[in-house]
Structure 1
């Protein structure tokens, strides 16, 4: 994959080094780039080939335990619970943070953001990573119900998990941030208080249903449609699996319109504090920042940070200093939101 001339000089040098090395490995192994034209059966048979570089199996780490809850339709959803070190953060009860991983609503599991969850618990919070259901095996939109179920389960299990039910935050990356933005509105409507919504590289329109990228009203979507990490072809790959054209009408009849595009949410009042993080060279940059402006117009508190030189999901690349900055920003935001400073 070549990087276009208008993008190349703006890329973070550490990302460029990583990207070149990745292309060399792919060519040497004659592999396809992750999730562009690969049949989903192959992806499911070889999940390790589609994990990001930050993926980590943390199931045997101290203070980490798996659990599960029942979603609204009776499906069992697995979660991985990360407790902070009591020697550093006391005996609890602790604040809690729900995490929803990225992956275009198609990829991801409890390993995908394992290293990021380990980092976030350094804030002194319990991190609950949610293994919400994926497309195409599950109808798109069920993930939103899984998210609502996770929040209710966490509150109902506060004593068992040693968490403070009145100090909960939510967050996610990419598709996971779409989920947490929807959950932010659902929680407000249900009268469930949240301390923070921490959304990163945020999709806030229904790009998965576009026929072509030119349908987007956002300049960044056009400027970086052939950029690294999340080119238009990859977005369409996810779209074909999540919202096939022949199913799109029935999906739109099944779910609220704003679930497809949180920017179209009907009520922007009294939402929890929000931390929006975008990458300068991400096609989704402008819609994430547009979401933040909607929050401001609704009278809500929002912090926005754009990471210069960074493409989509840069926070998955351990070799980048920007990724380390991202991790420290997450810890600082969680500590401030939960009153741990």
Structure 2
């Protein structure tokens, strides 16, 4: 699991702004599954915002923890005045689909049911995720729509991993200028194989595994998507946004020129600009 170690070591450490309070909890997991660990980022007490963000970390659904992006989430909670709940979902291959997704959905249910205790409006919950976490965020929005118990306020998808064909000979498109850095075709296929497990192509749950395969995208909440022009996920993200537009879902898409996967984490002027763009999008959607 060298990839898991390198991912956590290479991401932002816990940076406390001083204004945000951290809290760890174990919440009820899916039926017959372990409890789920979550980290809560409570905004400053002066905040009057009653919205909340359920955040799903990246790592291809095979690596990562909510702790590795604590610095970014601390800033997001502080600057938007919003409660953020980050989910420590189970990873593949130890737990293939739908384990990780059901963990995230269980966290959404808990957040919705705990609205009174947490001082939030249960109708103003946004789901947000990056990379593999973007896949789980999108799939959680689909589950929420189809199970009919929770109406999400918005979804924010940061270079989401949506189509399990990407990087394979079955890929709808394959631009050789993409996927050369950070997250490659081989890594993508390895991750999808681990997450998919034994799920058959004709399984009715397939669209929740790989949201690019969900035929009906209507009824989803307003959506914000970013990707890089050199990111392996560029084409699938653009296609997903186009399908959302056709389904009459209010959607904003930004494609950043000459940028690879996870470019927002770079300590550059563009990285700073992207983080600002995401922050402003979250504020608009809240």
Q: 2:137 aligns with which of 174, 180, 183?
A: 180
Give the number of the structure with larger relative contact order, counting CA–CA contacts within 8 Å between residues 6 or more apart.
Answer: 1
Gaps of 5+ in 1: 1-39
Q: Any idea what SS the aligned residue of 2:121 has?
A: strand
1:63 aligns with 2:16: no
TM-score normalized by structure 2? 0.90
1:79-98 mapped onto 2 (5 Å cutoff): 79-87=38-46, 89-90=47-48, 94-98=50-54
Deviates more, 1:51-60 or 1:301-310: 51-60
TM-score normalized by structure 1? 0.76
Report what 2:125 is aligned to.
Answer: 168
Q: 2:99 aligns with which of 142, 148, 154?
A: 142
Higher Rg:
1
Q: CA RMSD in A?
A: 2.3
Deviates more, 1:98-107 or 1:320-329: 320-329
User: Does the CA-based 8 Å contact 2:7-2:59 persist in structure 1?
Assistant: no
Kindly tell me the number of residue pairs found equivalent between the two proteins. 282
Gaps of 5+ in 2: none
Report what 1:277 is aligned to.
Answer: 226
Q: Any idea what SS the aligned residue of 1:111 has?
A: helix
Q: Any idea what SS the aligned residue of 1:217 has?
A: coil
How far apart, in 1, do the equivalents of 2:3 and 2:245 lie?
40
How far apart, in 2, do the equivalents of 1:254 and 1:160 lie?
38
Q: How much does 1:43 deviate?
A: 5.5
1:242-253 mapped onto 2 (5 Å cutoff): 242-243=195-196, 247-248=197-198, 250=199
Deviates more, 1:132-141 or 1:169-178: 132-141
1:255-294 mapped onto 2 (5 Å cutoff): 256-294=205-243
Q: How much does 1:184 deviate?
A: 1.3
How far apart, in 2, do the equivalents of 1:239 and 1:295 lie?
23
Q: Any idea what SS the aligned residue of 1:160 has?
A: helix
User: Does the CA-based 8 Å contact 2:17-2:74 persist in structure 1?
Assistant: no
Report what 2:186 is aligned to.
Answer: 233
1:303-318 mapped onto 2 (5 Å cutoff): 303-317=252-266
Q: How much does 1:251 deviate?
A: 5.6
